[in-house]
Structure 1
Amino acid sequence: MDKRRILFVDDEPGVLAELEQTLAGMRERWDMEFITDPLRALARLDADPFDVVISDSRMPGMNGGQFLGEVMLRHPRAVRIILSRPMDRDDALEALNASHQFLAKPCSAETLKAAVARALALRKLLAGDTPLKSLISRLDSLPSMPALYTRMVQELQSPRSTADSVAAIVAQDPAMTAKILQLVNSAFFSLSRHVSDLPTAIVLLGLDTIRALVLSVQVFSQFDPQTLQTLSVDTLWQHSVRVGALAKRLAGSAGVDREMVNDALTAGLLHDVGKLILAANLPNIYVKVAPLAQAEGIPECEAERRLFGAAHGETGAYLLGLWGLPEPIVEAVAYHHHPQDRETRELSALAFVHAANALCSMTGTARLDHAYLDELGLGGRLDAWRELAAGDADV
């Protein structure tokens, strides 16, 4: 088995020595190098490719944000992870635009291993001559994890976080605040009264729902509608919100635990992010997707597969996996059109996102997999689910 190559960069030799000792057990699987100087690290990267680059946020001469920015320009296929102490918050935020994942110092060996393993598992999707590998290699750029969302997650991890402290972070972006309040007051979330402030919205809907909304709004805001002439961002956004809200309702009606309900919401909101990536990077090809689907009476995901070799589901899942989102969310995005392709059959967010997307289909070509739902014991719920979908109003 070929070893994966991991480069660690930190200006403190003691930190690198501790990392090397902690990760000694991974030597059989990882080829690791530890460098204190970011300029020397760039030269090393130019000489030999690495699969993953892990950098401290604060270093003299060139901080982590600047270093990872150079890595992104020179070696865009390398997975980029930033490590930051709480005191280095400003440096870490600067680095977020150039990194795929953020890990807080001190970082346990298990957390670090899990982050790298997750990143490498995604690379495994590209191993060999696969259609997804070919497609990803043609993309000029992938969006970075939204900075505001990461700051919000950091705050939620603090034992001192409150609805007011989380709201204060979101409120730093007035456009974001307005969008969140618009969504909260829409028919999708069925609140009994009008909400005019973020702390109240957080109390009524919960931090998990607000976090999912912030992430989805920020992801969509990274794409300029003026440059996506082949795709209506507003139409896709409204569809995504409807699917997310319905997936949450379907999961709730099935009596699953809160974590699965929240995963269904997040995955539903982000299930079509791959369309944005394809339309932004390969617009001349993406413009052919809808006409091909309509001409041959096939789902648009199948038209994408013919034109690109891979579809928007796995493309979006690849990005979300790089960002370190939970596996159930990544899987739901990857397989929302073809849930039978998932290796295991236990109930997960995928079932609710698949059903919600088909029931909310913009084109009418997204099809329910009745055999899959029957296998999970959900087929008998479809009539009730159709009523829920019919009752949804546009945002």
Structure 2
Amino acid sequence: MIPKILFVDDDRNILDSFRATMHGLRREWKSRFASTGQEALEQLSKAEFDIVITDMKMPDMDGCKLLRNVADMQPDTIRITLSGHSDMQSLLKSAKHTHQFLSKPCNTDVLIGTIRRMMDLRPVLTDHKVRGIVTGLDTLPVLPDLYIEITHELNKPEPNLQKLGELVKKDPGISTTLLKVVNSSFFGFYGSVSCPARATILLGTDVLKGLILGVNFLQELNTDILGPYSIEKLWEHCLQTGYLAKEICSLMDKDEKTVTDCFVGGLLHDIGKFVFITEMNKKYQEVLEHVREFGGPVIDVEKKILGVSHAEVGAYLLGLWGFNEEIVKMVYYHHSLDNCAETFTPTHAIHAADVLQHELIPHTKGYVFSEFNADKLASAGLLKHINDWRAACNNLLEINDEEK
């Protein structure tokens, strides 16, 4: 069945431009159009849609109200809001019923690319248990203004990498972390890099976005609520998992983009834990106390107490925040490996890196971490590589430790 998309905008010129764009893609998607929120609801009462894309500011019913109704009427519909850049931060704080935000004006390539990515991510974004947790939060985790500015620049037809570097320089914490990562032995660039703009070019924009998210959560967390739990160790684990995933992916002779995606996926694989600690600290304390008293792994206790895991919630939010589908799926499946083919995939790399980092650098004495998913690794013919991966990762960690 051909997917159906509903576009809603009170500006006839914009609606006509959507018609023109989608006409050329009519074999891929069926498109319908509405000029008011009420008209959109009438169409939704008569047919099911895979995606609804709406303008934010409309006179009869704004986009947030419309998408709240869409969520009630058709909860498995992907919901996208178009909004001016100046409104983006306030929307991200409050609009829990939107899966994706796009800046207006939105160029055709970004629009089409977003639709395709959202279709690929539908199993993640329509997970009922995860959606229930996220929509139950008082507010969504607040993205830093720097992230919004950088995403806005990246969505331009020709992003200015020099400007991205200048934006990064505004935040000392981000700038310092970016330079630390680019100059580490894990990346192996020749010569010292001292310019954030140069670091941005070398590392790439997805790495930059991942580091911004991680550092922002680290800076904003109230560590007084965590007791003996160390958020700094969690961040160190995330960074090193990214490095090790990159190394494993390189050993398997994957291309440069896949290797970079593995680093970002490893860096963000536990982002859901930051969200739990930030937005559900009292409830997550139950998880941490249970782990300290009875043992882990943490993911099993999360599912028992919360009903969902950090992997699922983290992936949901990364999809909402615009990360590519490969990274989102790596995070979502990094424990279960349920999306993995019977050959090596980047998700295998994240899974192995996560286990090996815990094994090689124990978090705390007696900490029980998730073990290798031996059945899934065996079905992909990868068990024979584990010792080679372990040796390479251990060597990498030892070299980095000597340089400190």
TM-score range, shorter chain: 0.7 to 0.9
1:13 correspondence with 2:12:
yes
Q: Which residue of 2 aligns with 1:270?
A: 268
Q: Which residue of 1 aligns with 2:107?
A: 106
1:23-74, CA deviations, whole angstroms, 9 ceiling, x for partnerless residues? 5898xx989662458xx79999xx9xx99663446x5889x9xx56777999
Q: Which residue of 2 aligns with 1:379?
A: 383
CA distance 1:314–1:16, shift in 2 (3 Å): same
Q: Which runs of no fewer than 5 residues in structure 2 stay unpaired?
A: none
Alignment-mate amino acid for residue 393 of structure 2: A
CA distance 1:208–1:305, shift in 2 (3 Å): closer
State TM-score, norm by structure 2: 0.74
Q: 1:241 offset after TM fit, Å?
A: 0.7
The within-5 A match list for 1:54-69 is 54-56=53-55
Q: 1:281 offset after TM fit, Å?
A: 3.4
Q: Which runs of no fewer than 5 residues in structure 1 stay unpaired?
A: none
CA distance 1:317–1:344, shift in 2 (3 Å): same
CA distance in 1, matches of 2:249, 2:333: 17
Q: Which residue of 2 aligns with 1:359?
A: 356
Q: 1:14 offset after TM fit, Å?
A: 2.5
CA distance in 2, matches of 1:360, 1:102: 35
1:295-341, CA deviations, whole angstroms, 9 ceiling, x for partnerless residues? 544411111111122211112112222233222212211121222x2
Q: Indicate if the aligned counterparts of 2:99 and 2:125 stay in contact, CA closer than 8 A.
A: no
Q: 1:12 offset after TM fit, Å?
A: 1.3
The alignment's C-alpha RMSD in Å is: 4.4
CA distance in 1, matches of 2:203, 2:20: 45
The within-5 A match list for 1:106-185 is 106-107=107-108, 110-111=112-113, 113-114=115-116, 116-118=118-120, 120-126=122-128, 131-132=129-130, 134-136=132-134, 138-143=136-141, 146-156=144-154, 160-161=158-159, 163-185=161-183
Q: Which residue of 1 aligns with 2:334?
A: 336
CA distance in 2, matches of 1:207, 1:113: 20
Q: Which residue of 2 aligns with 1:34?
A: 34
CA distance in 2, matches of 1:321, 1:76: 17
Q: Indicate if the aligned counterparts of 1:68 and 1:80 stay in contact, CA closer than 8 A.
A: no
State TM-score, norm by structure 1: 0.75
Report the 3-state secondary structure (helix = DSSP H, G, I; strand = E; otherwise coil) of the residue aligned with 1:360: helix
Q: Indicate if the aligned counterparts of 1:82 and 1:95 stay in contact, CA closer than 8 A.
A: no
CA distance 1:229–1:60, shift in 2 (3 Å): farther
Q: 1:90 offset after TM fit, Å?
A: 4.1
CA distance in 1, matches of 2:228, 2:135: 21
Q: Indicate if the aligned counterparts of 1:176 and 1:217 stay in contact, CA closer than 8 A.
A: yes
Report the 3-state secondary structure (helix = DSSP H, G, I; strand = E; otherwise coil) of the residue aligned with 2:194: coil
1:312 correspondence with 2:310:
yes
Q: Indicate if the aligned counterparts of 2:130 and 2:316 stay in contact, CA closer than 8 A.
A: no
The within-5 A match list for 1:245-260 is 245-260=243-258
Q: 1:263 offset after TM fit, Å?
A: 1.4
Q: Which residue of 1 aligns with 2:195?
A: 197
Alignment-mate amino acid for residue 345 of structure 1: E
Q: Indicate if the aligned counterparts of 1:118 and 1:321 stay in contact, CA closer than 8 A.
A: no
Report the count of equivalent residues. Answer: 378
CA distance in 1, matches of 2:353, 2:284: 24
